Amino acid sequence: MKSIKAISAVALVATLTLAGCSSGANGGDAGGDVTIEFQTGFAVDDGEMTLMKELVSEFEASNQGVTIDLIAAGTDYESDMKVRLAAGTAPDIWNTHGWSLLRYSEFLLPLEDQPWADDVIDSLDETMRNDAGEIFALPTNIDISGLIYNADVLEAAGVDPYGIETWDDFDDAADAVNSDTVSPIYQGGKPLAGALADRVVSGTFDDDDLAEMLDGSFVTPAYEEMLDLVQDWGNSGYFNPDYSSASRDDMAKALAQGQAAFMYGPSLLFDNAWSFNPDANLGFMPIPSTTGAPRYLVGGERTAFGISKKTENPDVAKAFIAFLAENDTALAAASTSPPGLTTATMELGKLQSSFEKWMTEEEVPVLPYFDRVYLPNGSWESMQVTTDVVITGQGTPAQATEQMKATFDSLQGQSE
């Protein structure tokens, strides 16, 4: 485990002073003990959770009277947070899991005046800062992902992942690996279909299309082109037979056990896969484009922590967030992801070679997640559904695109 930096003596004194001047979150009187409810968004056995327990112990030891109530995620963290916010019972701190700006900012304290705010990496500005320059969460890591692959499966089929530059190349590779025991594309069912669409769709929209989307006009041909690709993959038998019932754990197991060649999903799939098979030879590659633009990766906020506007102890919460910022190298390493701050050091372990190949040597562009920039808040479920109906053959790309457009127009109208 990476070394944990202790919060500075000056900050400790300030924290204790401020804590004594505020009403405790646990209902104590002024000057009493303070409890900060921290909804981590982590599963109990996540590597990030293991490290966070150590960090909390370190912080509490240096801040007598302060308790960080560390809470693991339930079975549906996102839904749980929606309920808490709707009920007006937000935790003091919570993991914004990619949505600090679009979904949660109205409930969060702006944090651009914090000591770490100027160190947030530039690639997160588009998705984490509003037009006024405000930022609402500390990103401890970022999600850089593309086309995930099992290198041993590809090698056995004579496929060089570095040679896949176009969708025709990808189809050739998929045909080469397709067998009774290997699915070219292993994807989870409807709740995870959006992860595929959100990555592929950035390569079917050109700059003019994206400008129209930002202006509030849905670009039907570009979205339909993405679904045309998906339909072609389904017709070619590239998807796993158990697609409709497959879970994220099923995806990770298939990747780890060599039953999948490629898949689309968040970078946490690597950690999940290695939990099933630590020796799995995995990597990621850029995603082809249909517009003539270069291949690309997608990225954005992954793990980030914001502070509720309603917290009764904002200064203590801010001190704890600042403490996490000081330990960002360790937090990012625990998630096998690049850090969210320029002051941290990147330690990606088994993924280091993929990252260096595409980010350092090739300088492949990293595009923001499509839905977080170009779709109105609330569009994610429709992206899942429209992709799923095409994969399962329940609808055509044209029909699914019209459904997505209707959602876009409706949500866009509500936001104006």
Largest CA distance in the chain: 69
For the segment 117-160, what is each residue's pLDDT rounded down to a tens digit? 999 998 889 889 999 999 999 999 988 889 999 999 999 999 99
pLDDT computed for residue 20 by the predictor? 37
pLDDT computed for residue 360 by the predictor? 87
- Residues in a beta bridge with 287: 296
Concatenating the DSSP letter of every residue in 246-277 gives --HHHHHHHHHTTSEEEE---THHHHHHHHH-
pLDDT computed for residue 191 by the predictor? 83
Concatenating the DSSP letter of every residue in 187-240 gives ---HHHHHHHHHHHGGGT--HHHHHHHHTT---HHHHHHHHHHHHHHHHTT-B-
E strand or H helix that includes residue 352: helix 352-355
**CA gap 202, 191 in Å, rounded:** 20
pLDDT computed for residue 358 by the predictor? 93
Token duo for residue 34: 């303070």
CA distances from 119 to 5, 11, 115, 373 (A): 17, 19, 8, 22
Q: Please, is 347 exposed, middle or buried when counting C-beta atoms within 10 Å of its C-beta (0-12, 13-18, 19+)? A: middle
CB 178 within 8 A of CB 238: yes
Token duo for residue 382: 């429709």
Please name the amino acid found at residue 213. M
CB 93 within 8 A of CB 66: no
- 94-132 core/surface letters (b: 16 or more CB in 10 A; e: else): bbbbbbbbbbbbebbbbbeebebbebbbebbeebbbeee
pLDDT computed for residue 234 by the predictor? 97
**CA gap 45, 290 in Å, rounded:** 40
**CA gap 237, 325 in Å, rounded:** 46
pLDDT tens-place values along the chain, 416 residues long: 334 444 443 444 444 444 333 333 333 333 459 999 999 999 888 889 999 999 999 999 999 999 999 999 988 898 899 999 999 999 999 999 888 998 899 999 999 999 999 999 988 898 899 999 999 999 999 888 899 999 999 999 999 999 999 999 999 999 999 999 999 999 998 889 999 999 999 999 999 999 999 999 999 999 999 999 999 999 999 999 999 999 989 999 999 999 999 999 888 889 889 999 999 999 999 999 999 999 999 988 889 999 999 999 999 999 999 999 999 999 998 888 889 999 999 887 888 889 889 988 999 999 989 998 999 988 999 999 999 999 999 999 999 999 999 999 999 888 66
Return all residues near 9 (Cβ < 8 A) that are at least 6 apart.
none
pLDDT computed for residue 389 by the predictor? 97
**CA gap 155, 161 in Å, rounded:** 9
pLDDT computed for residue 348 by the predictor? 79
314-326 vs 47-62: helix crossing angle, rounded to 10? 120
Q: How many residues comprise the chain? A: 416
For the segment 261-310, what is each residue's pLDDT rounded down to a tens digit? 999 988 888 988 999 999 999 999 999 999 999 999 998 888 999 999 99
**CA gap 342, 258 in Å, rounded:** 36
Return all residues near 386 (Cβ < 8 A) that are at least 6 apart.
197, 227, 395, 400, 401, 403, 404
pLDDT computed for residue 32 by the predictor? 58
For the segment 315-329, what is each residue's pLDDT rounded down to a tens digit? 999 999 999 999 999
Q: What residue ranges define each of the domains in the chain, with the CATH number in brackets?
A: 9-143+300-351 (3.40.190.10), 145-297+371-415 (3.40.190.10)
CA distances from 394 to 165, 186, 198, 285, 386 (A): 31, 19, 20, 30, 10
**CA gap 289, 300 in Å, rounded:** 19
**CA gap 366, 138 in Å, rounded:** 20
**CA gap 393, 89 in Å, rounded:** 42
**CA gap 232, 329 in Å, rounded:** 42
Q: Please, is 21 exposed, middle or buried when counting C-beta atoms within 10 Å of its C-beta (0-12, 13-18, 19+)? A: exposed
pLDDT computed for residue 13 by the predictor? 40
- Residues in a beta bridge with 70: 38
In degrees, rounded to 5, the angle at the alpha carbon of residue 200 between the alpha carbons of residues 196 and 204 is 150
- Residues in a beta bridge with 135: 129
pLDDT computed for residue 21 by the predictor? 36
pLDDT computed for residue 416 by the predictor? 61
**CA gap 125, 139 in Å, rounded:** 11
CB 60 within 8 A of CB 66: yes
- Residues in a beta bridge with 67: 35
